[in-house]
Amino acid sequence: MPSTTLPDRHPETADRAGRPTPGAGSAGNRFRKAGTTGSRPPAPGFRPDIEGLRAAAVLAVLAFHAELPGLTGGFVGVDIFFVISGYLITGLLIREAATTGRIRLGEFFSRRARRLLPSAAVVLGATALAAAWLTVPLRRTDLEYDVLAAALSTANWRFVSQQTDYLAAGRDPSPLLHFWSLAVEEQFYLFWGPLLALIVFAVLRTSRRGRAVRSAVFAVTALLTLGSFLLALHWTHTSVSLAYLGTPSRAWQFGVGALLALTPWHRLRGLSAIRPVCGWAGAAAIVWCVVRYDGGTPYPGYAALVPTLATAAVILAGTGDADATDGATAYGVGRILRGRIPRAIGRLSYTLYLWHWPVLVLAEARLGTLGWPARAALTMASALPAFATMRWIEQPLRRSRTVSEFPRRGLALGVAAVVLPVVLALVVGTGTLNLLASAPEFDLKGLPPGAADGRSLLLRTGTPLKDGPPVPGAVQARKDFPPDGGCEVAPTATTSPPCLFGATASPDRIVLLGDSHAGQWFSPLLGIAAQRGWVLQELVKQGCPLPQLTLRNPQLGRTYTECDTWRADSLSRLRQGPKPRLVVVASLNRYTDDQQLLTAGWEKTLSPLRALGVPIVYIQDTPIPGTDIPACVSGHTKDPDACAFDRATAQWPDPLAASIAAGRLPGVRAVEMNSVLCPGAGAKCPAVLERILLYRDDAHLTNVAATVLAPRLERLLTDAGALPDRDAVPSGRWTQLLRDDFDGPSGSRPSAAKWQYDLGTCYPGCPAAQWGTGEIETMTDSTDNVRLDGKGSLEIVPRLRNGRWSSGRIESKRSDYAPPPGGVLRIEASIALPDVTGPAAAGYWPAFWTLGSGLRNGYTGWPAIGELDVMENVNGRDSVFGTMHCGTLEGGPCKEPQGLGSGDRSCPDCRTGFHSYAVEVDLTAGAEQVRWYLDGREYHKVTAAQMDPRTWDDAVHHGLFLILNVAVGGNLPAALGAPAGPTTEPGHPMRVQYVAVSARGAARS
C-alpha cells in the first residue's frame, strides 16, 4: 500500500473584522416603518479583538506547517477562521437587512471579490510560474490542475477526490493544498448570501415585523448547523477526507459564528461580569487544542467542538455595546488581542496564509525534505511577499473608490482574478503536457524478457536494450496498475468479489491474498496460472494488513474495522471453498515497527492457511522508495540515477521471512525479489533499472516491472516446491535441467557443484596431446584464467607469461543431459566473444560445445561418440559457426575432421555484445535432427537422413556434457591463416552470462 497521511489541515482566511456600513437610507426608513417592536440592534463597531484573534489563528497554522515541536494541533486555526467568518458575514448581512429591508447580493459579492480574489490570483500566478522552474514536469502538470481548481474555488473537492482515492496516494503535497479552505469559504458565501436574501424577502412579504427576519434566519441557521454537525460526525467515521475538506461538513462552524451574530447575547443580564472569564476560558481551550491535538485526532468530529466553541467564547467576551475600556473587558483576553502586534499580524493574516504554504512546498521540491528550523525560517520569510501583496494589491483595491463605486466593477475585478490564473495554468500546463507527450512511446513487446536467475532484471539476449527513456514513461507509470478489473477492493469494502481469472473452469487454483503489495503480483501470477491451464483467484484489499493487526485507516480516519471483517471473510472462503493448489501471500511490511506484534499477527493469519494443507509462499515486501518516483523520473529522464533512494529506509527487517528461514512455520516458504530490485550493497536502491521504471508511486511496482519479474517468480516458486515444473504439466513443455547465471563475487570461481576444470594440455592419460587440436596453451584452474566478474558473467581469459600461454577450460559436472524419448534437448548460452581482432587476435579460438558422455570412460571413441559445437570463432573474425562431429576419424558420413558445419555466420557485433547461442537435439518421431540458433534464429541443421542410423544413434542418443573454453593456436586457426604468434595479444576474455539446459518431452497429440 502507498504511504498516506490525514488530509493536510490548513486554516481558512476569513474576511477581517467588518467596518461600519453606510447609514440607512429610505429603504431603512421603510424597514422601520414596517413596525419593529424591539430596539434597534447596536450600531456595528470595529472589533480590534477579532483582528487579533485572527492573528492567533494564523500563527497556530503557521506553527503547524513549520512543524514546530509541541504545536501539533495548530490545524485548529482553520476552525477559528470559519467561526469568525460566519459571525462577521452573517452580522453584516443581517445589519444590511435591518437598515435597508433587503440584502444587496451584487454589493455583497463585489466586496468579497475585490477583498479575496486579487490577492489569491497573484499567489496562484506566482506559484504556477515558480513551479515551472522549481518542480519536475509530472508534478508541474498536477499543479496546473490545482491552479484551475483553486481559481474556480473548487480546490477542496479536487483534494477530496485525491485523498479518498487510495491509488492516488503517495504523491507529494500540492503547493496549493491550502486553497481548500478558501474554496470552502467561497462556497459558503455563494450559498449563504442568497439564502439569507431569500429568507428576508419571504419574511417581509408575509410579516411586517423586522424581528421576524432575525427569528426566521436563526431557526434556519440552527437547523442547518445541527445537520452539518451530524454529517461531520458521520463522515469523520466513514471518510476523513470528506469530513475535513467537504463544505457540508464544515458549514456548522460557520453556523456557530452565525448563531452568535443572530443572538442578542449582550442583552443578557450578568453577562458583562463573566465576559472576561468566558474569553480567557476560550483562549485556554484553543491553546490546549494546539498543544494536545495531533494527526491521530479524529477530526473534525466531536474534537472540533472544542476550538469552535472556544472561538465563539472569545468572540462573545468582546460582544456588546461596551467599548474596549470598560471594567469588564479591561482584564479580558481582548486586551491582548487588541494589541498593536496581534492586530498587525491579523491584518496580514490573509496574504500570509496564502503565501506561506507555496513557499514551504516549492522549497522542499527543490531542496528536499527540510527540518523544522528551516521550515520555520521559510515561513517567516513568506511574510515579505505577504506584506507586499497586502500593501500593493489587497488594500488599494479594497479602498479604491473607482472599484467600489459600482458593484459590477468589483465583480469584473473578481472575474478577471479568476480568469488570469486559469489562462496561465492552461498555458503552462499545456506546455508541460506537450513536453511529456513528446517522449517517444516504447513498444513493450520490444523488451527483452525478464531473467529467471542472476542479478540482471532482463534476460541478456543478443540484442541489448538500447539507451533511451525509462519504460514505461513517467506519465504511463502513474497509470500502470495491474489489470485486475477492480478486484483490489477499496477501504470501505468488507468482502471481495469472486475475482477469478484465467481458466476459470479449472479445478487447479492459485490464490493471491493480501493488500496492494500482494496485488502488484497479479500479472505475473496470472501468466504462471495461464501457462499451466489453471485459474487465479485474487483476494486483495487496499491498505489492509494480512497479519492480524488493528490499525487506523488514513482514508477513513478511524480504526480499520472493515479490514478485520474482510480478512476473516477471505480466510473463511478459503477454508470452505475448493482447495487451492497454491496460496501466495504478500503485505506491506511496515504497518507497525513492533517486530513481536507483527510476528504474532502473521502467525494468527497463517495458522488457518496452514491448516488447508497446501503450499503457502510469502513474497517478501519490495523496497519502499517513500517518494513520488514517476514525478522524479519525469525531471530526470536522462539521469534516472538521480531518483535513487536510500536502501536503509526502503527495506525494513522482515520478521516473517526470518521465522520461515528458521523453520518455525512448516509449510510456508519465502521468496524475495529485492536482490534484483535493489542489487548490490550500496547505500541506494535504483528507481530505474535496465531502463525499466520500477515504481508507479512511492511504494508500488509498475505493472511492467512486475511482469518482467514473472520468469524469476516462476522459478522461485518452482524451486521452492510450490509449483510443479511446467513440463510436469501434460503438454510437452520445457523443463530446466541446468541454469547458471554465474553470480558471485568478483574474482571467485564458478560453482563447483555445476562445473569442473580440465587441466594441462590433454585429458588424463593424454589420449590426444595438445587436446587433439594442436593448441599451445596450458589449461589451469587459476582465477587469472577462469573467474566470475562480480557482475553476473563468467570470464575465461588467455594469458601469456614468460613466453607460455595459459587459459581455461571447464566442463559441466553432469554428463547426462539428453533429450527424453521422443523429445527435445536444448543447450543455450549467452556469450560475448573476446573483443579483439586483426593480428592481435591471431590464434584466439573461443568455443561452447558438447561431447558424448561415453568419452569420460577413458576419453576415447571420438568422433563416433558425438560432438556438437554450439559456437566457435577463430582469429577474432566477425563470424561464428556451428558443427557436428560424428562417425569415423577420416571422411565418413560426417566428413571428418571438418565435420558437418554451418560455415561462417556473419556476426559483426558478437565481440562487443552478448548473443545467445543454442543447439537443439530433436528426437521427435519423424524429425530426428540437430538445429543451431543464433539469437533465436535457426541457421544450421543436421538430420538423421544425412547419415546411417548407427552413426546417428552413436552421436545423439546418449547423454552429453558441456564445455566452455578459449584455446590459443591450433590447427583450425592456422588453417585459416592466423596461427598464434608475436602479435597475438593476451588478456581478452570470453564472457558468458548464463548457460541453460532444458528438455521437453514428446508433445501429446
So what's the pLDDT on residue 209? 61
pLDDT in tens, 432-479: 555 555 455 555 566 778 888 888 898 876 455 667 788 888 888 888
Among 130-134, 247-251, 870-874, which stretch is predicted with the lowest mean pLDDT?
130-134
Buried (b) or exposed (e) across 444-454, using 16+ Cβ within 10 A? eeebbebbbbb
Confidence of residue 732 (pLDDT cuts 50, 70, 90): low
The interaxial angle of helices 137-151 and 155-163, nearest 10 deg, is: 130
Spatial neighbors of 881 by CB under 8 A, at least 6 apart, are 869, 871, 872, 873, 901, 902, 903, 904, 905, 940
- For the ranges 184-193, 716-725, 864-873, 902-911, which has the lowest average pLDDT? 716-725
Task: Say what the pLDDT of residue 14 is.
Answer: 33
In this structure, the number of other CB atoms found within 10 A of the CB of residue 850 comes to: 24
**pLDDT tops 60 at residue 40:** no
Instruction: Supply angle C-alpha 692, 696, 702, rounded to 5.
Output: 50
Q: 390-444: per-residue pLDDT in tens?
A: 999 888 877 777 766 666 775 676 677 778 777 776 666 565 555 555 455 555 5
The answer to whether the CB of 689 falls within 8 A of the CB of 627 is: no
- pLDDT > 70 fraction of the chain, expressed in percent and rounded: 87
More confident of the two residues 269 and 402: 402
For residue range 867-876, what is the model confidence (pLDDT) as tens digits? 999 999 999 9
Q: 830 pLDDT exceeds 80?
A: yes
| Cell numbers linked to 598 | 507483527
pLDDT in tens, 316-366: 888 544 444 455 556 788 889 999 999 999 999 999 999 999 999 999 988
Q: Are the C-beta atoms of residues 386 and 392 closer than 8 Å to each other?
A: no
0.75 cut: is pTM over it? no
Point out the least confidently predicted range of 133-137, 380-384, 570-574.
Answer: 133-137
Which DSSP state fits 471?
B
pLDDT in tens, 782-810: 999 999 998 889 999 999 999 999 999 99
| 442 backbone φψ class: left, alpha, beta (φ>0; ψ -120 to 50) | beta
**Cα 958 from Cα 867, distance rounded (Å):** 12
Average pLDDT over residues 207-216: 76
pLDDT tens sequence across 529-576: 888 788 999 999 999 999 999 888 877 777 889 999 999 999 999 999
DSSP 8-state class, residue 640 = G
Q: Which three cell numbers stand for residue 983?
A: 602479435
pLDDT for residue 26 is more than 50: no
- DSSP of 22-70, one letter per residue? PPP-HHHHHHHHTT--SPPPPPP---HHHHHHHHHHHHHHHHHHTT-TT
Q: Which residues contact 262 (CB under 8 A, 6 or more apart)?
A: 90, 94, 214, 217, 218, 221
Question: What are the backbone angles phi and psi of residue 616, rounded to the nearest 5°?
Answer: -120, 125
